[in-house]
Structure 1
Amino acid sequence: MREHVLSCQSVPLLLALREQLLPLEDEVPLRQACLAAVEERLGQLAGPKPRTLQLALIPFLSGTSRLAPFERRELEALETIAVLREWKQPSSEEVFREMRAHTDMLHGPAHHAWVMTSLAQATSHGTWLLQRARASKAHLTEDALRWLGRLLHEVGARLREQRSHLEWEMGLRLQMFGSELTQHVPTREECIAAWIQLGNWEDAVKKAAYDRWPIGRLREESCEHRARNELAWMQAFAGTGELP
């Protein structure tokens, strides 16, 4: 297994695998056998200077407890990461095409490729940052908390540039908590308004009962639109936009 992982050339595939391994308990054999190799290979592919936040956050977060407060040296390290201008490469649409090629070889349906595409977005990074940020509230000075809040806002901004539901929502969560730490009221108000808007789109998708659509071909085609721009796809259900 380790040999297969270390020979993998696909960053999205490795990220999707990592997302499935992280929730497992430490003592689960599959996690023990694969997680370190996955992160090692991602580090090799990213190189010494990762060009995306998604890849740069892996060595920053790996090996740390989700309940551990941030230390000043970690904020300094996060400052150097937060300046990266891209969350990920390639785009979700390109990742979907890659995953579709893999599932086609296994005669799998398109929605399996969409699941893998969603995993490859690696939004667990944001959850990890939020958990550590919450643990830091009682330990950092007011100035350090404002600093942390600004960094969360920067990471959230990169996520909100993406057009997928999970990434956009995670970016919003980071910016919401960041505004709480910075005590910047306009940002918090903007986040609340965006959250309400997102909720309306989510409700529209639920009312359409998309997950229970019986016609496979419709779901297949829908996955392609969804991968191209999931937010626009959701807005189409809400009647406020066209399919991408």
Structure 2
Amino acid sequence: MLASRFVPRALLGTDRRLAELAADLEGVDVPFYRTSAEVMAAAVGFHLNRGVLASASRAPELSVAEVISGARTVAVLEGVNDHENLGSIFRNAAGLSVDAVVFGAGCADPLYRRAVRVSMGHALLVPFARAASWPGDLGLLQDNGFRVLAMTPDPAAATLSEAMPRLEGDRVAVLVGAEGPGLAEHTMRASDVRVRIPMSRGTDSLNVATAAALAFYERARLRG
């Protein structure tokens, strides 16, 4: 959080964690409230925790135009309303050279506590924005030179290994949908290419965060 655009208001933690974070907190003008491990467990809701909580103010929302400026690879989500999946996508994005995340219709709040925790804090660091028009803002991406890849289990779609090398020199937006319904048909029609991950017989798809990670990796691998 201290490296993000979200300004902390207060911290709550144990003496041990305060000592461990002393160097990081030097010069940070926020109160640190000390408490016991038992109170921390009650506040967090479970015993296995990192011993510190922070409260922060929400930063002003960024626009899609702001987060894609200078980006080469972005993730675009539709209907991803599970906080654990959302957090995992942010963690994958940070680790696999995705520059920003754009939310379409029906997505959960990336600043919900569980999403931030599962993301290992990367939901605070990877720039994100909500589309003002959906799926209209896919056109904004395309107008800015992005090729939009819609992930789908459709066997008629190009495979990831076929499609991604053709876009090596392009700006790329990886579009994923909610588990179960996937992407809406009108959203896929607005994309440039439909892409699938070949699956073993009897399984038609992967978890959305896993599927996104494979696409992110293939993109990062080709970019070197």
Q: With the length of structure 1 as denominator, give the TM-score of the two structures.
A: 0.25
Higher strand share: 2
